[in-house]
Amino acid sequence: MAKFLLIPRDTKFYDLFEQDARNLVIAAEKLVDLFDNYEDVEVKAKQLKDLETQGDVITHQIIQRLHSTFVTPIDREDIALLAHSLDDVMDFIEAAGRTAFLYHIVQPTERARQLASIVAKLAYKLNEVLPCLRRRDQFKQILAECVEINSLENEADDVHHAAQAEMFSDCSDACQIIKWREIYQHLENATDRGEDVANVLEGVVLKNA
């Protein structure tokens, strides 16, 4: 016998996730611009902070809606995990820009540019994949996109390891090492949290296959 839902599932969650992903893309693009065109650093760091604040607003809306919605389109714990993982990506993007400004970085390294570029590619992928949650017939595409996200995270790991090796072999200034170590870690953490988003999405697909 077919099952019917007396209460419609609230699809507003999809709108909020997609809004969050678009905001993430804008932030990632500004991060790339910060390191590729290293000028007006304070202004650019402030722009990243504004985008991070907007991301916080979206996350709050998702969690607030979760508490007030009886029937959700996907499992409640997955909605919460997606919201917090996306928020974490944004937090680390903002932290990388803020740290570059606060630590008075004179010029970015090539490794920082590479990591920022990977963060942007990952943000683009998240922006592509999240709308697929709306349609069950696009769930296979989610799995394919998640594989690419995982590959980007692995690429970021390789660049991060190379950056650390170069930092300790090429720099004798302990202060600079500390500064760059933290910036590199923020950038790498952004890709780690992006992979967390992919893992949650894979779980959603498997649960609803």
Domain coordinates of the chain in residue numbers? 12-207
pLDDT at 56: 98
Which CATH number among 1.20.58.220, 1.25.40.10, 1.20.1640.10, 3.90.550.10 corresponds to the domain 12-207?
1.20.58.220
DSSP type of residue 134: G
Q: Give the integer Cα–Cα distance in Å for 62 and 82.
A: 10
Q: First and final CA of the chain: distance in angstroms? A: 20
Give the residue among 19, 90, 86 at the shortest CA–CA distance from 51.
Answer: 90
Q: Does the predicted model carry a pTM greater than 0.85?
A: yes
> What are the structure tokens assigned to 32, written together?
């790339």
Summary count for the chain: helices (H), strands (E): 6, 0
**pLDDT, tens digit only, all 209 positions of the chain:** 444 444 456 689 999 999 999 999 999 999 999 999 999 999 999 999 999 999 999 999 999 999 998 888 889 999 999 999 999 999 999 999 999 999 999 999 999 999 999 999 999 999 999 999 988 888 889 999 999 999 999 999 999 999 988 887 766 678 888 899 999 999 999 999 999 999 999 999 998 87
- Compute the CA torsion angle 155, 157, 160, 166 (nearest 10 deg): -90
Listed in sequence order, the DSSP H helices in 37-138 are 41-68, 76-102, 110-129
How big is the CA angle at 147 (ends 146 and 150), to the nearest 5 degrees?
85
Q: Give the integer Cα–Cα distance in Å for 14 and 74.
A: 10
pLDDT at 171: 67
Q: What is the pLDDT of residues 124-155, one digit of tens each?
A: 999 999 999 988 888 889 999 999 999 999 99
Q: What is the pLDDT of residues 34-48, one digit of tens each?
A: 999 999 999 999 999
* Cβ-proximal residues to 91 (8 Å cutoff; 6+ apart), any chain: 52, 55
